[in-house]
A and B are shown apart, each in its own frame.
Chain A
């Protein structure tokens, strides 16, 4: 069931709303008011939790069947270790992504992706 361009357009507009609300509302409210402490404290741990979950989904899960594949994706696991090292040392987003892509492309020639 492929989507038409019209469906894509609707998806884009709705995505825009979903992306815009969390960006705009706090900016508007806290331009005049103090941010509640508990909200800040909780929000501190949302990005790290979400990003890790997303990484784990790609590296350790079968994305179609949602089953745990263990250490089957050797190329992705090794490339991820390289990305962690590059990100930690250089703190450069571009370098992390480019070296990660090169690593996974080269590793996929010798081990399973």
Chain B
């Protein structure tokens, strides 16, 4: 009887939790972009074209401190660089699709719809590239409307921006916690935090973030490489952290089944 449900509705049902969680975050982003001087049309355009919570919050906060356009774009590039990883890990499921499809798919890819799609591709054999495309565009629609509402609310009432701004920090903390796969990632997170304070105090600019990111990620890469080559792949630092009800379970592929066996 469930088979009779049209595919678009079925996919919408899968995407709904994600869409709903976009509402408060999108509204917060809209409020902040409005405070940074964006009008509602620009808020809608940036939501459609850039479609990244992190990027939109960052643009808003950098505009309020009068950062220059090149600085904003460099920071943005580093912030969006992580999509290279997401894109490459999804690419195996999108073989044989048209170039125009890939183009539209890349344009609307972001962290959260990636997580939904990766999980579905990895666990559900009937999941097609077109379904993944729908997930992306449903989430894009909710995101854009939430941003628009946020920017309208921002023009109607005054809101304590310091508090709304914390939505981004909470979002990033959530994403950091989602990255904690073993003790090494926790260590790298601490190294990056200390390095960020050091380099930002030194450079007096957000370039300190770039320096900290490069340094900490390379240290992580080097330590893992060293541990794996010295036969410590199952030691203290690289053993898995597994919270209950982990949605990452199916995402972390073969290595997991190996270490469990």
Taking Cβ atoms with an 8 Å cutoff, the residues of A that contact B are 1-3, 5, 7-16, 18-32, 35, 38-61, 63-68, 76, 79-80, 83-84, 87-89, 91-98, 100-101, 104-105, 108, 113
Contacts and interface: CB of A to CB of B under 8 A. Distances in A.
Given A15-B59, A22-B80, 9 more contacts: A24-B106, A40-B85, A47-B179, A51-B179, A56-B192, A87-B178, A91-B243, A92-B21, A97-B28
A41 B17 CA distance: 31
Contacts of A56: 192-193, 196-197
A23 B83 contact: yes
What is the interface residue range for chain B against chain A? Answer: 35 or more
A94 B196 contact: no
Contacts of A93: 21, 25, 112, 171, 174
Given A1-B66, A48-B188, A80-B173, A91 B218 contact: no
Contacts, number: 304
B123 interface: no
Going nearest first, the 10 A-B pairs with the smallest beta carbon separation are A94-B21, A100-B170, A45-B220, A53-B196, A24-B106, A49-B216, A45-B217, A87-B177, A48-B179, A27-B87
A23 B24 contact: no
Dominant SS at the B interface?
A: helix
B237 interface: no
A18 B77 contact: yes
Interface of B: 17, 20-25, 28, 37-39, 41-42, 45-46, 49-52, 54-55, 58-59, 61, 63, 65-66, 69, 72-73, 76-92, 94-95, 97, 99, 102-103, 105-107, 109, 112, 160, 162-180, 185, 188-193, 195-197, 200-201, 203-206, 208-209, 212-213, 215-221, 224-225, 243-247
Dominant SS at the A interface?
A: helix
Contacts of B163: 101, 104-105, 108, 113
